[in-house]
Structure 1
């Protein structure tokens, strides 16, 4: 070898030494007998500070290790042998320096020299900071996951290919309840929608595409969850990175209870408006109807006083009694109306024969009651439970109407009462042959204070109370009538025994 060639080799060795010294990694070169060919200062000082081993060129690294750390020696021998077999490996080691752990990533790789011998190159770098960041990221991800899983709303994220990036526990549970499908990250979210729901898949495709174009969305859907129809408010938010939409975040909130509460409040508000309107009418009509008989009594008393011979006193007293009875009947209707509105339902077992007889007995002294024949047909196939006092109100009103509005031109006035009871309900039908109701008034008779004409004898509250009672009992009432032939009231009342 010429002097020039020796000079060139020296130059290249200097360049190589300069390179490995300036490298960010710690570098060690070994021959196939594990002797140190070269190393930079980083590798030298790491072994000095960690193990107290001074590495020198030309010495066996394994022999140097053996003197102070037998376990480390076996570990490095195994790693070097793997590298010599042609398989590059990467490992992570933990070193403790001054009571603090340092993490190192170490690469072992072999390469061949021109003469056929092999060199083992070992590169290591400090990844302590990276490991700390990774640990922090993992901790933050765990904290975020914990937060997501404690949120009652469903949350899921997709990328621009509709692939499911992530989701929380609530979305996983709700989706499985709705479709029996187990969600998997990386799956196409549209492909997870059952095949028998193509319209739903197309609906969500449009929503996702709209969101991925950068447009937030807000939707309301109804889904069947465990046989319960649930209502959800769904919001979509684009994920934007450097001005580009890279995905979509969805939030779904169950607003079923809120919606039901709002509907209930709306219904209650409408009911309150209706009640206030009826109350205004009630106050106006009641004050007029209460005052009329009192003024009549007052006028009759003045006439008695002014009649010097008192010859017509009995007649006046009869008129006074009639006004007082009318007033008493009106007040009784008001009490029944109030009782039905404010009292809870108090179900008990009903004997319809007993109930009917009590109603007829209470009305026996009513004018004309003895001229109306009652025809009963009661078939009770099962025990029946309902509110006794409310049913009595219904019977009293219907029977008294049959008496008051009987056709006096007929010799055989009657009221036919048919009652059929089974386990689910009671069907009652009251049919009379009275004067009947004009067709134009049939759909108005259940309104408060409605009177078909000025000669009507009642307070105008009776049938209004009947309808209110039936609504309270969750029953129904219908009426059929023809002038001159009679009227039939039909009731259906649920059985509360079950």
Structure 2
């Protein structure tokens, strides 16, 4: 589009030093192929430039804006310059606007100049030739310079002279060529008249047209040859046209047949639809309907519908269809709606009907209304049942404690309930669905694939015990019940439920442990009652016998010996009672953690055994490394040290030249390692596994109660420790005790 031309006009106005402004409100610039600019010059001339190709819409808009622009000065008429030199095409219908424009030209403008330098379109030319009034009102020029000059100074010799003076050298040469061309046109007017006479004598009679006979001497022989060529070409074209017409008629007949066939097919579909379909025009006359609608009217109202029948004239329909008629009125206003109607009997819904009523639009006008009606009672009831079941299932899923799921190998986790999310320690279902590695939900990641293969083989399992892993890594025991199904595409789905039985499992294990412990206690109790009765009875019988002897004894030395033996029996009985008390306390009291001072405990323990025979003969080597604070149960540690150290002293080797007891203690942040070694009598290897049993004595010469090492083992187990023994007969024994630091 030559918008550069607009700048050329501006250059002319600037050269002439004229004031001008673009009337933006009238400019037409919104079309791709057409532009129009309105320029007001010296507040007295309206210069309008049209560029591009105009169609009916743009041409009407042009005339509308031009009428408005003519009224910008109410008191004086403007001079109008229409520059159409850049206008390519205007619609043929524009002749109607030009005829209306004649009166407008005379009434609105003081003078009109029309620039039509390069316009090929013949509409304006032909209109000018056939309307003499147009020639009087409009002066046609071929240059914008000249039109502006005439508009400013009028059409006179001086104005034309001023126009020539304003031209450059190149423009003067171009103007001279145009004048020469006009002269040539005048000289050829005579020859043109002769050509017109030839054309008038030429008679066109389609394919019967006779050709001219010419000679080479005739001035117009070339023209005759052209006419003869046109006539011959026409005959050929006419024959081809007849052939094309016949072919077109054949195709048209075939297409009409196809359309009729398609219409019959559509009609058959229309009639077999489950919906009632009917169309009315704006006057409520039936335009079309299907068999479902016909059957409905005939069975319900005894009316046989026909195309053209007015619905409003059917009194039996008006009462029943009142609501529908109101909806049709809305649709006639362009509103499309969907409706659902519930019909009740005795308070219960017996029928549900869905309707869609919408306008039928042809050529942008509403020509009628279409109504589609469907009885959905059965499907509605089914959907309501499904919704009810879904609500029940949703309630069960929400409140059940079992984790319910659906998975497949291809799609991963498809569904879980809230209990599943909670059981595995996730924050939401979405987080769980995005958890890519489902095998990580098992303690053993291979269990998922193993169970999947097993399920495919057996189809269903119930209460299979599986170890699962929570999001935070905690392990729990679940009872898995699952079944496998397959869809039509061959995709296998695994549906199942998991019940967390960790607490039950723990309770069962605890019960089993308690049962084992009870059996053990019963066994030990039987043994204890038997042994205790003997160990309690023996010293008492001994004391009783010594008392009887003392009653008849008169010797002081003998009495002193009897009293010494009584004291030993009482000490033995006292030690036995202490052991029983320690055993009872260990079983009943909870572990108490406190900071341990091993030096204090060992000092107190050794002080307790000063009275023992041979105490002073045994060397005590003590090494304590407890720089790391150590926490444990102080009372239980005393029991452990008392029993182990007392045994080392009681069973020293009297034949050893250097009897000793070595006590080493070393602590760290996690544990304490205690070693008590002696070079005493030692223990035979076959008895090493039995020395921790209740009332076990390795020989008849045992001096203890028989429950000391049993108490040591029970006490160490209570604080989660362990004890080991190494011994060789007549060489010595090493007890190694490892107990945890309760601070860690």
Q: Bigger shift: 142-151 or 260-269?
A: 142-151
Q: Is the CA contact 1:383–1:423 (under 8 Å) kept in the aligned structure 2? A: yes
- Structure 1 partner of 2:669: 423
Determine helix, strand or coil for the equivalent of 2:689.
Answer: helix
Compared CA separation, residues 252 and 384, structure 1 to 2 (3 A): same
Q: What is the TM-score when the length of structure 1 is the normalising length?
A: 0.75
Q: What does residue 638 of structure 2 align with? A: 392
Shift of 1:129: 5.7
1:398-431 Cα offsets, whole Å, 9 max, x none, are: 1111111111112322111111111211111111
Deviation digits for residues 131-167 of structure 1 (CA, Å, limit 9, x no counterpart):
35423432431232122122110224589x9998854
The gaps in structure 2 that reach 5 residues or longer are 1-266, 313-317, 361-366, 486-491
Aligned to 1:314: 560
Name the structure 1 match of 2:138. none
Which residue matches 1:137? 386
**Deviation readout 1:30-70 (Å, 9 max, x if unpaired):** 4799741366588779xx9xxxxxx9944499xx9999988
**How much does 1:285 deviate?**
0.2
Q: 2:521 aligns with which of 250, 262, 275?
A: 275
C-alpha separation between the residues in 2 aligned to 1:372 and 1:423? 33
- The answer to whether structure 1 residue 380 and structure 2 residue 626 are counterparts is yes
Equivalent of 1:352 in 598, 610, 617 = 598
Deviations 1:359-409 (A, max 9, x none): 111111122111112111111121111111111111111111111111111
Q: Is the 8 A contact 2:359 2:369 kept in 1?
A: yes
Q: Distance in 2 between matches of 1:314 and 1:175?
A: 78
Q: Assess, with a 3 A threshold, how the Cα gap between structure 1 residues 79 and 175 changes in structure 2: closer, same or farther.
A: farther
Whole-Å Cα distance in 2 between the matches of residues 166 and 344 of structure 1? 47
Q: Is the 8 A contact 2:414 2:433 kept in 1?
A: no
For structure 1, list consecutive stretches of 5 or more residues without a partner in the other structure: 1-15, 49-54, 81-90, 112-117, 185-189, 240-245
Counterpart CA distance in 2 for 1:474 and 1:321 is: 38
Q: Trace 1:277-292 onto structure 2 (pairs within 5 A).
A: 277-292=523-538
Report matched runs for 1:13-24 at 5 Å. Answer: none
Return closer, same or farther for 1:163/1:135 CA change in 2, 3 Å cut-off. Answer: farther
Closer, same or farther in 2 for the Cα pair 1:353/1:158, shift >3 Å? closer
The answer on whether the counterparts of 1:181 and 1:192 sit within 8 Å (CA) in structure 2 is: no
**Are 2:466 and 1:221 equivalent residues in the alignment?**
yes
1:204 aligns with 2:452: yes
CA apart distance, 1:291: 0.4
Which of 540, 543, 554 aligns to 1:297? It is 543
When residues 67 and 150 of structure 1 are mapped into structure 2, their CA distance, relative to the original with a 3 A threshold, is closer
Q: Deviations over 1:104-140 (max 9, x none)?
A: 33468999xxxxxx99874413335643542343243
Alignment of 1:60-75 (within 5 A): 72-75=328-331
Give SS of 1:230's match.
strand
SS at structure 2 position matched to 1:443: coil
Task: Tell me the TM-score normalised to structure 2 length.
Answer: 0.52
- CA change 1:229–1:410 in 2 (3 A) is same
The alpha carbon displacement at 1:279 in A equals 0.7
Matched, 1:253 2:495: no
**TM-aligned CA deviation for residue 439 of structure 1:** 1.2
Match of 1:37 among 282, 287, 293: 287
Task: Tell me how far 1:168 sits from its aligned partner.
Answer: 2.6
Contact 2:340 2:354 in 1 (8 A): no
For 1:468, what is the secondary structure of its paired residue? helix
- Provide the rounded CA distance (Å) in 2 between the counterparts of 1:199 and 1:68: 64
In structure 2, C-alpha distance between the alignment counterparts of 1:136 and 1:465, rounded to whole Å? 71
- Partner residue of 1:334? 580
- 1:162-181 → structure 2 map (5 Å cutoff): 167-171=416-420
1:204: how far off?
1.5
- 1:156–1:439 Cα change, 3 Å: same
| 2-structure distance, mates of 1:223, 1:57 | 75
Q: 2:278 aligns with which of 22, 28, 31?
A: 28
Determine the structure 1 residue equivalent to 2:81.
Answer: none
Query: Using the alignment, how far apart are the partners of 1:175 and 1:42 within structure 2?
Result: 61
Which entry has the higher C-alpha Rg, 1 or 2? Answer: 2
Deviations 1:283-340 (A, max 9, x none): 1001001101111111122222344666622222222222112111111111111121
Paired with 2:718 and 2:405, the residues of 1 have a C-alpha distance of 46
How many residues in Structure 1 have an aligned counterpart in Structure 2? 444
CA deviation after TM superposition for structure 1 residue 210, in Å: 2.4
Alignment CA distance shift 1:378-1:151 (3 Å): same
